[in-house]
Amino acid sequence: MLTLKQASEQTGKTKQAIQQAIKKGRISATKNDNNNWIIDPVELFRVYDTINKVDDKKLNQIDGALQGSFTGDLHLKVKELEIENRSKDEKIDFYKEQFTKVEKDRDDWKDQAKKLLLTAPITPQATVKEPMSKKMMTFLFCMVTLISVILTYMCKIYWIPL
């Protein structure tokens, strides 16, 4: 069983990255009596690859064969590249997570828009007025005629010039 620190050293990932993977359920782990995470190596290496560490004996053999500071420079460059590679892998993991979140948000908004479209009542934008019925037209004609007759009669009675 490995602690978070040991798992970090074995995979080259940060302790926070491994802890985040545990919280998301990508790696199964348990907590011991001290409330520290304990990870099964098989479970850890199912998700993350191990760092290929070169044995010191082999490194010395290579140094002897190549002779000089050239090997030391290469060794430093390899270490730098390993660190840079780990950093880029963590960034890739972060951006993948962000992309997944954005996709989920997009799908949620899409579902919400569909629900709104399906539940919204369909109403016409402009209401079309129906033409007046014959009864209404007859009534209005009679009223106008009656008013004009009354006005005419009033003018004759009271001598009001129009």
- pLDDT tens digits along 32-89: 888 888 888 888 888 887 665 545 555 565 566 555 556 667 778 888 899 899 889 9
Clarify whether residues 41 and 8 are in a common domain: yes
pLDDT tens figures, 86-99? 889 999 999 999 99
**Which are the contacts of 17, defined by CB distance < 8 A and separation ≥ 6?**
90, 93
Q: Stretch 132-142: mean pLDDT, rounded?
A: 91
Number of domains in the chain: 3
**Which are the contacts of 90, defined by CB distance < 8 A and separation ≥ 6?**
13, 14, 17
Domain range holding 73?
A: 54-115
Q: Could you tell me if residue 123 is inside a domain?
A: no
Distance, CA of 154 to chain centre: 81
Clarify whether residues 3 and 39 are in a common domain: yes
pTM, two decimal places: 0.33
Give the model's pLDDT for residue 138. 94
Clarify whether residues 21 and 39 are in a common domain: yes
Clarify whether residues 62 and 31 are in a common domain: no
- Tell me 131's DSSP state: P
Q: Stretch 137-161: mean pLDDT, rounded?
A: 83
Q: Could you tell me if residue 128 is inside a domain?
A: no
Q: Could you tell me if residue 88 is inside a domain?
A: yes
Token reading at 131: 């033409």
Q: Could you tell me if residue 125 is inside a domain?
A: no
Contact 15, 4 (CB under 8 A): yes
Clarify whether residues 46 and 93 are in a common domain: no
